[in-house]
């Protein structure tokens, strides 16, 4: 069970280089460069990126690459209405992003599986708050990786009222599968924004994890959160008048790609057994079905037409 993935020489060098790089300096540089309106240069960079990563622009609200004044405007592009329909079942826990399932399962002994042979503690992920971590003891987690080609806005997996955010300082390692297999406690080491919600299931957390060249996170309620770099842990209680964010609505975005970790309380959700690590998911599709505190029928998935 403790066997770890063996990496090739090139992969080990890739990981070792990240320890030496000035991660925040490079991410800050990319942050500014991607916002420059460079006319033909910006359009050229966008076209090269679309071709290199096979981005499907037919899904974008603005399909012409020339419509984007900067690379970041393209990277955080909106989608056309209707291209990410929400699972119609009210008890469906929706995927908050387009991405790849890195891991999902049950939180065991207060720890979350990162990769084969590696895990990390929920308390550390949540900024060291042991009492808060207890809300998720024995609960469910899903770790979703956004590749460069993916849609980079983050949506609500279920209805929720924001309770608190915790900005946790840290490193900015890459979060791709190679680094996840090699760097201990990766997601509990990187800079991250913990968003805590009160939901019908109980407490829920969406953890937005930064990464190298991706050290920029926004939310719909406070705008740009990082940069600047988080120097110390910062907790912010939500305004008492904060409305409920409906399932499927946008709650934030990455300016470049990264990882989202969803935490849910014990005995409240059953993950779809067809979804396993490595599976591609779409924003708004069902990751699983939740159960209310009262006995509630679970309906089968609708058949495709």
* Catalytic residue annotation: 98, 155, 258
Q: Distance (Å, rounded) from C-alpha 72 to C-alpha 34?
A: 5
- What angle (nearest 5°) sits at the alpha carbon of residue 203, between those of residues 201 and 207? 120
H helix intervals, 114-172: 122-125, 130-134
> 96, 224 in Cβ contact below 8 A?
no
Distance of CA 84 to the CA centre of its chain: 17
- What angle (nearest 5°) sits at the alpha carbon of residue 77, between those of residues 288 and 210? 65
Number of residues that make up the chain: 305
Q: Distance (Å, rounded) from C-alpha 216 to C-alpha 35?
A: 12
Q: Distance (Å, rounded) from C-alpha 139 to C-alpha 294?
A: 18
Which residues neighbour 109 within 8 Å (Cβ) at sequence distance 6 or greater?
A: none
Mapping DSSP to helix (H, G, I), strand (E, B) and coil, where does residue 117 land? coil
Q: How many CA within 13 A on the CB side of residue 2?
A: 1
Q: Distance (Å, rounded) from C-alpha 219 to C-alpha 209?
A: 13
Mapping DSSP to helix (H, G, I), strand (E, B) and coil, where does residue 254 land? strand
């Amino acid at each position: 069970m403790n066997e770890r993935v063996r990496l090739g020489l090139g992969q080990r060098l890739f990981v070792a280089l990240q320890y030496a790089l000035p991660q925040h300096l490079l991410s800050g540089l990319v942050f500014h460069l991607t916002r420059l309106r460079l006319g033909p240069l910006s359009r050229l960079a966008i076209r090269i990126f679309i071709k290199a990563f096979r981005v499907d622009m037919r899904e974008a609200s603005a399909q012409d690459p020339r419509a984007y004044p900067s690379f970041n405007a393209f990277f955080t592009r909106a989608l056309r209405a209707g291209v990410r329909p929400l699972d119609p079942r009210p008890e469906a826990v929706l995927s908050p992003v387009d991405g790849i399932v890195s891991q999902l399962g049950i939180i065991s002994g207060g720890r979350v599986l990162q990769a084969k042979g590696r895990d990390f503690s929920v308390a550390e992920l949540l900024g060291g708050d042991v009492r808060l971590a207890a809300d998720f003891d024995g609960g469910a987690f899903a770790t979703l990786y956004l590749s460069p080609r993916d849609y980079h806005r983050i949506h609500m997996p279920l209805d929720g009222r924001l309770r608190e955010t915790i900005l946790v300082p840290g490193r900015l390692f890459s979060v791709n599968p190679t680094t996840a297999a090699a760097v201990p406690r990766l997601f509990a080491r990187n800079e991250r924004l913990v968003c805590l919600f009160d939901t019908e299931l109980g407490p829920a957390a969406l953890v937005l994890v930064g990464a190298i060249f991706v050290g920029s996170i926004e939310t719909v309620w406070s705008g740009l959160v990082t940069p600047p770099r988080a120097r110390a842990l910062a907790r912010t209680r939500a305004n008492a008048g904060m409305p409920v964010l409906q399932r499927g609505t946008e709650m934030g975005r990455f300016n470049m790609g990264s990882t989202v970790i969803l935490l849910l309380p014990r005995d409240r959700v059953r993950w779809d057994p067809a979804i396993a690590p490595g599976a591609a998911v779409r924003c708004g599709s069902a990751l699983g079905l939740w159960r209310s505190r009262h006995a509630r029928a679970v309906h089968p998935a609708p058949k495709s037409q």
